[in-house]
Amino acid sequence: MPLSRHEAIDTVRILSEALPYIRKFTGRTLVVKFGGNAMTDDKLKQSFARDIVLMKLVGMNPVVVHGGGPQIGNLLAQLDIKSEFIDGMRVTDSQTMDVVEMVLGAAVNKEIVNLINQAGGKAVGLTGKDGQLITAHKMVVSRKSPEMAAPEIIDIGHVGEVDAINRNVIDMLTASHFIPVIAPIGVDAEGRSYNINADLVAGKIAEVLAAEKLILLTNVAGLQDASGNVLSGLGTEDVDRLIAEGVVKDGMLPKIRCALEAVKKGVTSAHIIDGRVDHAVLLEIFTDTGVGTLITNADLQDSHLDP
């Protein structure tokens, strides 16, 4: 059915509003962390894939990093393997690491690749083990209490932290017009595999690539103040203050710290956006209002785009 005149006018208006953003971000790298509800809702998965393809078609270089916590949990439950978390991190013994690699490196990664390809893009899936993309070391977790003279060191298994990102692998793919889709699995010098938080991997990749944007999809509307209002635009000093005041807490704290560190280390802006919104990525990049929280070192005006 053809568009009505009113619908056609709305379409033209939307395209006109997007044009300055397309011009500004053509040739720039945008790192998108895909997770939360957007990974489990079929409609949202389709809209995410189309968003990524459109970004590539208008000249941007999207790099996708994905999580998969719920999918890992489901398979562990099916296999009757107990899940345990310490300080929000999954304890990952050798058996659990096998499941993590199976889910992240195979099932989830290939599903995202297929969705992007079906939407008209050219995606390539890889883990941090491919081409030594992500080298890592074992994360050390310690706890201290008044009863202990020294902090207790807790072994959480194959959970890692990023040592380095081999950007040559990503540059090779983007230069060949492919869209990298990266599972957050790292490897150390001895070949041991590590499960790494996807937000942290996305942040490190954004830093190394000197990305224009780091976009983290979440299951909330964005960073909220003490009254529950979404904070749409913040400078790094504002974020430091909110953390010190305890406004940023619980599950949002590691995401905000990841975004903050990336911006402080050269990423132009970081976005915490609501992945439950259809086409959330395009709304954040191509419209004046956006759908989440923007963190930047630049002076903030009333718009996401400098006049």
User: pLDDT at position 298, please?
Assistant: 60
Question: What was the pLDDT predicted at 150?
Answer: 47
Q: Where are the domains of the chain?
A: 26-296
As a whole number, mean pLDDT of residues 79-88 equals: 82
Model confidence pLDDT, tens digit, residues 231-289: 778 888 888 888 888 777 767 778 888 899 999 999 999 999 888 888 999 988 887 76
Residues 57-70, mean pLDDT to the nearest whole number: 94
Q: Tokens 């009254």 — which residue?
A: 227
282 Cα distance to chain centroid: 15
Q: Mean pLDDT score of the chain, rounded to an integer?
A: 86
Half-sphere exposure of 234 (CA within 13 A, CB side): 28
For 11, phi then psi, to 5°, come to: -65, -45
Higher pLDDT, 149 or 184: 184
pLDDT at 148: 47
What mean pLDDT do residues 14-42 have?
88
- pTM over 0.75? The answer is yes
Average pLDDT over residues 86-115: 90
* 168-184 confidence digits (pLDDT tens): 999 999 999 999 999 99
Q: Check residue 144 and give its pLDDT.
A: 55
Return left, alpha or beta for 23; rule: phi > 0 is left, psi -120 to 50 is alpha, else beta: alpha
The reported pLDDT for the residue numbered 87 is 67
pLDDT surpassing 90 at residue 47 = yes
Closest to 63 in 3D by CA, of 209, 197, 162: 209
Tens of pLDDT, residue by residue over 184-208, are: 999 999 999 999 999 999 999 999 9
Question: What is the pLDDT confidence band of residue 96, given thresholds at 50, 70 and 90?
Answer: very high
* CB contact set of 151 (below 8 Å; sequence gap of 6+): 142, 143, 144
pLDDT at 168: 97
Q: Which fold has domain 26-296?
A: Carbamate kinase (3.40.1160)
Beta carbons of 213 and 270 less than 8 angstroms apart? yes
